[in-house]
Structure 1
Amino acid sequence: MPRPPLARTKILLAARQIVERSGAGALTYDELATVSGLTRGGITYHFPTKDDLLRSLLDDDIKQWRASEQASRPSNVDPALAELIGFIRSHTSEDESKRRFVAGMLSAAVHQPELLDSCRSEIARQRGDQRWDEAGLKCYLLRLAAAGLFWEELFQLHPLPTKVRKQLIALMERKAEQWSSTEPTAETATTDAEEQHKNR
């Protein structure tokens, strides 16, 4: 696979820097030319419109999230559990650059929801083999908890003490290990029996 042109990479790095610092609204071709050191014509050659640039930024960000999740996976466990733990760790990592970028992109995404199409596709890809039995729902609950913590911290809604935050993440990982098992647990069997009894 050929490497992307150096100028294109330079433009995306500069654009991300602007978004992290001042938000997507500040991402103009003039500002991008100043930060990247490239000409406006050189920028529009790779990104004819601002929407093209924003979509490419989001695509690039998705690749970074994937890499973060992959790097966070433990190597000595079942692949499905490793993927879940990688998701939890990636979403709860204290990566200020990632948070600033997401915050900077929010207004653009709210005003142009179609910009998030690549994010929707990525989530659909991740959920392609999602099971909706009790074990699958429990794993999905942990994904929601990790994503919820990310968004709560992004908006600084209710900062957790450092010790409590670590305990919460450790609890998520322990539950991931307990709940990702394909074998029915006593708790699952009890719940299933109760559900069957109610449906009679």
Structure 2
Amino acid sequence: MPATPNPPSPRGSSREKLLDAAADLITRLGVQELTLDAVAAAAGVTKGGLIYHFKTKDELLGALVERMIEQLDQRQRAKAAKRGTAKSALLLALVEETFDMSRSEKQLLTNLLAAASAHPHLLGPVRKLFKETYGELAEGGAEAGLALAIAAALDGISLLELLDFHQFTKGQREAMRNALHELIAKLA
């Protein structure tokens, strides 16, 4: 039986409170309006308390991206685990994440993507997640091509909407979801 994790320390909860405040500010105002003073005020801590955890805005943004990627990966893995161990389980979880992401999470991701143009190093954890996910999907012989194509299609759908190149209607989204489910069933 795994050991029960220790409850978060006050420092850990302060760090999370700061990341939550930063995420909220970025979602509402964009990265360009993010300042250490604004994050400290929104989190109800002193600027010194913020600087204890994050010396710079860049460090804060990096920690926020890492946390988001970790949460996204954990959420996808948990959804996949409920469906079994097959490659199709991960793809079904990716479909769910793509089509059911909240409006606020989409806005936060959009604003962080915009920040990546000025801070390209923020993409390191994102690249790592993609490398792991696509690497996992690439294993398994003849089915690998279809699995990779489905994952790439899902990422394309997400990026089209996040970058506001195209917003699919509810009907279009449902038709794509159904088509992807039919393709994924061929992998099972």
Match in the other structure for 1:158: 166
The residue number in structure 1 matching 2:113 is: 106
Q: Structure 1 residue 143 and structure 2 residue 151: aligned?
A: yes
Per the alignment, residue 127 of structure 2 pairs with 120
Structure 1's 126 and 14: CA in aligned 2 closer, same or farther, altered over 3 A?
same
Equivalent-residue separation in structure 2 for 1:74 and 1:171 (angstroms): 22
CA RMSD for the aligned pairs?
2.0
Tell me the equivalent position of 1:193: none
Instruction: Say yes or no: does 1:12 pair with 2:37.
Output: no
1:172 equivalenced with 2:180 (yes/no): yes
Return 103-112 or 45-54, whichever deviates more. 103-112
The range that moved more, 20-29 or 153-162, is: 153-162
Return 2-11 or 97-106, whichever deviates more. 2-11
Cα deviation for residue 45 of structure 1 reads 0.1
Q: Offset of 1:71 from its aligned partner?
A: 4.2
The 5-angstrom pairing of residues 181-192 of structure 1 reads 181=188
Q: Which amino acid aligns with 1:115?
A: L
Q: Is the 8 A contact 2:98 2:158 kept in 1?
A: yes
Distance 1:37 1:120 in 2: 33
Alpha-carbon contact 1:92-1:169 (below 8 Å) kept: yes
- Taking structure 1 as the reference length, what is the TM-score of the superposition? 0.81
- SS of residue in 2 equivalent to 1:128: helix
TM-score by length of 2: 0.86
Task: List alignment gaps of at least 5 residues for structure 2.
Answer: none
Are the aligned partners of 1:72 and 1:90 in contact in 2 as well (CA < 8 Å)?
Answer: no
Matched, 1:86 2:93: yes
Q: Which amino acid aligns with 1:136?
A: A
Sequence identity percentage: 24
Query: Of 54, 59, 66, which residue of structure 2 is paired with 1:52?
Result: 59
Q: State the distance in 2 between where 1:47 and 1:76 align.
A: 38
* Corresponding pairs, count: 180
